[in-house]
Amino acid sequence: MTVTNQPPSTEPFATPLDVLLDRVEKDMQDDLVPAEIFNNEDIFRAEMERIFTTTWVFVAHESEIPNPGDFVQRKIGLDPVIVTRDGKGGINVMSNYCRHRGTQVCQTDAGNSRFFTCPYHGWTYANDGKLVGTPLMHRAYGTPLDRDEWGLKKAAKVDTRNGFVFAALSDDVPPLDEWLGGAGWMLDVITKLHPAGMRVAGPPERYMVNGDWKTAAENFAGDVYHLPTLHASIQEIEMIEGLQGTCEIGRTYEFENGHTFIGHAWTEAIGPFFTHWGYGALEGYSEHFDLSGFDDTQKFVAEHQPPTVGTIFPNLSFIRIFSPLPDGPPGVFTSFRQWQPVAPGKFELWNWQFVWNFQDEESAQRDYVGGQYCFGSAGVYEQDDTVAWEGVQRAAASPWMRKEGMKFNYQQGNNSPVDQAPDPEWTGPGIHRNTGYGEHVQFNFLRQWLRTMKGDRA
Ligand code: FES
Ligand SMILES: [Fe+2]
Residue 458 has a pLDDT of 41
What whole-number distance in Å separates Cα of residue 148 and Cα of residue 130? 5
Which residues of 255-325 form beta strands (DSSP E)? 260-264, 307-312, 316-323
Based on the domain organization, do 265 and 363 belong to the same domain? yes
Contacts of 273 (CB under 8 A, 6+ apart): 267, 280, 281
Give tens-digit pLDDT for 259-286: 999 999 999 999 999 999 999 999 999 9
Q: Which ligand is nearest to the CA of 374?
A: 2
- Rounded to the nearest whole angstrom, what is the distance from the C-alpha of residue 339 to the centroid of ligand 2? 15
Q: What is the CATH number of the domain that holds 389?
A: 3.90.380.10
Say what the pTM is: 0.95
Bond from prior residue into 314 cis (ω within 30 degrees of 0): yes
Say yes or no: 221 and 138 in one domain: no
* Strand, helix or coil for residue 98: coil
Least confident of 6-10, 417-421, 428-432: 6-10
Alpha-helical segments (H) within 351-426: 361-375, 380-397, 399-404
Nearest alpha carbon to residue 364 among 291, 287, 284, 306: 284
Ligand 1, pocket-test mutation among 99, 123, 153, most atoms within 8 A of CB: 123
Q: Judge contact between 177 and 161, C-beta under 8 A.
A: yes
For ligand 1, atom 3, the nearest C-alpha belongs to: 121
Which atom of ligand 1 is least distant from the CA of 103?
A: 1
Q: Considering every ligand atom, which ligand is closest to the CA of 101?
A: 1
Q: Do residues 306 and 383 both lie within one domain? A: yes
Return phi, psi of residue 162, to 5°: 50, 35
- Of the listed ranges 146-160, 236-250, 419-433, the least confidently predicted one is 236-250
- Structure confidence by residue, pLDDT tens digits, 103-159: 999 999 999 999 999 999 999 999 999 999 999 999 999 999 999 999 999 999 999
pLDDT, tens only, 195-220: 999 999 999 999 999 999 999 999 99
CB count, 10 Å around CB of 273? 10
Q: Does one domain contain both 154 and 246?
A: no
Whose C-alpha lies nearest to ligand 1, atom 1? 101
In the chain, how many domains are there?
2
Distance 129 CA to ligand 1 centre (A): 14
Looking at residue 101, what DSSP letter applies?
A: T
Q: Is residue 208 part of a domain?
A: yes
d(CA 33, CA 17): 15
Sign of the torsion angle spanned by Cα atoms 377, 383, 385, 388: positive
Instruction: Report CA(216)–ligand 2 centroid distance (Å).
Output: 9
Per the structure, the complete domain to which residue 84 belongs is given by 57-168
Position 239 confidence tier, pLDDT thresholds 50, 70, 90:
confident
Q: Percentage of the chain with pLDDT > 70?
A: 97
For residue 8, the model assigns a pLDDT of 54
pLDDT top residue among 113 and 4? 113
Beta bridge partners of 410: none
Q: Residue 246: inside a domain, yes or no?
A: yes
Ligand 2 center from residue 18 Cα (angstroms): 33
Cα distance between residue 177 and residue 321, in whole Å = 26
Query: What is the CA(6)–ligand 2 centre distance, in A?
Result: 48
Residues 208 and 96 in one domain: no
Sequence-ordered alpha helix ranges (H) in 105-174: 137-141
Strands (E), 181-277: 198-200, 205-209, 250-254, 260-264
Whether residue 412 sits in one domain with residue 357: yes
Are 35 and 148 spatial neighbours (Cβ–Cβ below 8 Å)? no
**Would the pLDDT of 2 be above 50?**
no
Give the pocket of ligand 1 (CB within 6 Å).
98, 100-101, 103, 118, 120-123
Q: Which numbered ligand comes closest to the C-alpha of 150?
A: 1
**CATH code for position 152:** 2.102.10.10
Write out pLDDT tens, residues 33-58.
999 999 999 999 999 999 999 999 99
Domain shared by 358 and 283, yes or no: yes
Is 162 a domain residue?
A: yes
Among protein residues, the one with the nearest Cα to ligand 1's atom 4 is: 121
Within-domain flag for 44? no
- Classify residue 187: in a domain, yes or no: no
Tell me: pLDDT of 10 over 60.
Answer: no
| One-letter identity of residue 180 | L
For residue 437, is it within any domain? yes
How many angstroms does the Cα of residue 90 sit away from the middle of ligand 1? 26
